Amino acid sequence: MGKLLTIVLAAALILCPAAVSRAVDDMDPVDSFDLQAPKATSPWRISGISFRGFEAVSPSQAAEVVESKAAAALALRQNEPYDSFKVAGDVRRLKVLFQEQGYFNAEVTATEDRNEANRTLRLIFTAKQGPPTTVEKTTLVWSDDQARRLWEDDVKKLLVLQPGQRFLLDRYEQTKEDIAKFFADQARPRNKVLGQVRVFLERNQAEILFKIEPGLRFLFGDSQVRGNHSLGRKFILDEATYTRGQPFSPSALKQTQQALLNTGFFSSVTLRPLYKEAKDNQVPILVEVRERDPHSIQLGLGWGTEDHFRVRIQQVNRNVLGWNETLSIEGKLSSIYTGLVGTLKKPYLLNRRSTLVLRGGIEQRDTEAYINNRLFVNPALEYVVDKEWSWYAGYNMERDQLRELKTHVPDPAYEKQTFFISSIPVGLIFDSRDSFLDATKGTYGRLEVENALKGIGSEVEFIRAEADLRHVLPLPWENWYLAARAQAGVVWALPGTDRVPLIRRFFPGGADSVRGYPYQLLGPLDNSGKPLGGASMAVGSLEVRFPIYDALGGVVFLDTGNAWERVEDTFGSLRYTTGFGLRYNTPVGPIRLDIGYQLNPPSGEPFDRYAVYLSVGQAF
């Protein structure tokens, strides 16, 4: 074995003399200490990203799909390292984005503008979108001739992509959804709608094909309830907007779900059709609910320009008496309001649409004109006509005592007396808004008339009417909205009452009224600048809401309004303000900052010509 190893080594020396000689030379003792590893170069980092030639696809849309990112301004972290594979993927994603907008021949390239000194680069995406692909025709393929004869004319009305129009992927997908929804509303929820798009690149045209199977027609069957403990099955099913044997409707299921959630008794509600258990085309419905705790406490903190620091605590009791009732006790504290109010709600007083609401409590309001202590009881019947219309009628009994009179009225003794008011308020409400705090579409309207009469025990007699109308209109640009508001109020003293008390007069001005004027200081003022209130009032607003960046938005507005001492002077001299504001969207509504400026202030006013407001929720 030793001889064999010697022969192998000798052969290696003979065949590779240079290599052996070089190896021996490299082992020079001086040179061996000079060997060093090559210096590692720092990676290239992205300092910025630009988009050129992006028209059908906006730079903001492109930035959402690009995975390569530059460091944000003032960021503490380093710029992201350059990754050629990620950039290649970005190019593919941008091409897909153009295709979704109907530009199937679009070309996208990526280039770099490098800075050797600090090893950073600006990434530049350049697009040549080319001509758009237009719709050549849309073909409907039916499962049978009977379905075609019955439904083709109706389905054609749902085709939003007409011949000659640019192909848009979202409209194509929306059309599929609209067709499926159409048949679901025809009691055919198991319909099938398949789509196909053939794109001819050489002539920039597309053929759209929809294959439609309407499916079987179903009816509502029996309803099952699961998950309820303290609330009875009958109470839950009484909220259903469908009946057994009625044609199946997904919208009826959604309305029932919302109705159950609106009762306040449930944290979650799910309605599931059991198609596999259907008999004679009648589908059983499984209603799964999760009841909320019978007792709960909520705490809220906030701050606003007008009420400063505020605290709200609410204790809610659900179905404690077994009447499906809700009893809540709410306390509020701020610089302008202190109160403790209880509310009892009993649904199904007359039928499923009617609710008895009993409110009562004690409160103190600190206004610019007075500080008033109020003790009141207010039973009312609320009636829901449909998902938009409702009305209410009730009885109001209250005792009012001014703790402090701040303004100089003609008869201070009259205002400082204790008033017992007995009145009948009635109201009508219309609400089609998609959100209470931050509506993006819809209309809200409310009209209330309150009549106080000595015949029902009131010490003063008057008729007070107030109307409020608001509308939000989406504009052609994404997340742009036009909002408008009109408010008016009037109060008449009936014979036997010389003057309507301050507590029933109107005091416009402030963050939710005419911005630019301080809180409640628009209208008649005394010599010290305190408000006297008006017998009539009018307020109008026009506002444009637009996005700025991410959750931050802006508004520009024009407000107008005033209050008048006499009803016959209404609209005699309107005051105008303008301004701008910021909105930061949060889960509980937008945080609002507004700055208003008076365009035609009255002469000698004792306050600044501009005002700043901070609050939560839109101004209207």
Instruction: Tell the burial category of 424 from Cβ atoms under 10 Å away from its Cβ (0-12, 13-18, 19+).
Output: middle
pLDDT value for 437? 80
CATH number for the domain running over 219-291: 3.10.20.310
pLDDT value for 567? 83
Tens digits of residue pLDDT in 226-241: 999 989 999 999 999 9
Pick the CATH number of 45-128 from 3.40.50.720, 3.30.750.24, 3.40.50.800, 3.10.20.310: 3.10.20.310
What's the CATH architecture for 348-616?
Beta Barrel (2.40)
Instruction: Give 35's pLDDT tier (boundaries 50, 70, 90).
Output: very low
**pTM, full prediction:** 0.75
Tens digits of residue pLDDT in 8-26: 333 333 333 333 333 333 3
57 Cβ contact list (under 8 Å, min separation 6): 94, 97, 98, 101, 127, 129
Do 348-616 and 134-213 have the same topology in CATH?
Answer: no
Q: What is the DSSP letter of 170?
A: H
Residue of higher predicted confidence among 293 and 71: 293
Per DSSP, the chain holds a count of helices (H) and strands (E) of 9, 26
| Cα separation, 302 vs 470, whole angstroms | 26
Asked if residue 570 has pLDDT above 80, the reply is no
| Cα separation, 499 vs 505, whole angstroms | 10
Half-sphere exposure (Cβ direction) of 176: Cα atoms closer than 13 Å:
15
Torsion of CA 235, 428, 314, 292, to 10 degrees: 20
pLDDT value for 79? 60
Instruction: Give 43's pLDDT tier (boundaries 50, 70, 90).
Output: confident
Please measure the distance between the N-terminal and C-terminal CA atoms of the chain and give it in whole angstroms: 100
Instruction: Give 550's pLDDT tier (boundaries 50, 70, 90).
Output: confident
Q: How many other CB atoms sit within 10 Å of the CB of residue 454?
A: 13
| Structure token pair of residue 593 | 């900052």
pLDDT value for 418? 95
| Cα separation, 525 vs 508, whole angstroms | 12
pLDDT value for 498? 87
Tens digits of residue pLDDT in 454-483: 999 999 999 999 999 999 999 999 899 999
CATH number for the domain running over 134-213: 3.10.20.310
pLDDT value for 2? 41
Q: What is the DSSP letter of 243?
A: -
| Cα separation, 308 vs 601, whole angstroms | 26
SS3 category, 216: coil
64 Cβ contact list (under 8 Å, min separation 6): none
The two beta strands, 442-452 and 462-474, are antiparallel
Asked if residue 184 has pLDDT above 60, the reply is yes
| Cα separation, 364 vs 372, whole angstroms | 6
Asked if residue 29 has pLDDT above 60, the reply is no
Tens digits of residue pLDDT in 483-497: 999 999 999 999 989
Between the alpha carbon of residue 576 and those of residues 321, 347, 426, 488, 614, the distances in Å are 53, 45, 32, 16, 20
Tens digits of residue pLDDT in 572-611: 789 999 999 999 998 878 899 999 999 999 887 778 899 9
- Domain ranges across the chain: 45-128, 134-213, 219-291, 348-616
The per-residue pLDDT of the chain, averaged, comes to 90
